[in-house]
Amino acid sequence: MMKQRFSSGTKWEVTTGYSRAIRMGHRVLISGTTATDKDGKIVGVGDGYKQTIQALRNIESALQMAGADLINVVRTRVYVTDKNVWEEVARAHGEFFGQIKPASSLIGISWLVDPDMLVEIEAEAIISDED
Per-residue DSSP letters for 4-18? Answer: EEE----HHHHHHT-
Are 42 and 116 in contact, with CB atoms under 8 Å apart?
yes
Tell me, yes or no, whether 38 lies in a domain: yes
Is residue 131 domain-resident? no
Please report whether residue 91 resides in a domain: yes
Range of the domain at 113: 3-126
Residue 121 domain-assigned (yes or no): yes
In a domain, 100, yes or no: yes
Whether 130 shows a pLDDT value over 70: the answer reads no
State the pLDDT at residue 127. 96
Query: What's the CATH number where 75 sits?
Result: 3.30.1330.40
Question: What confidence tier does 95 reach under pLDDT thresholds 50, 70, 90?
Answer: very high
Q: Residue 62 domain-assigned?
A: yes
Q: How many Cβ atoms from other residues are within 10 Å of residue 23's Cβ?
A: 22
Domain count, the chain: 1
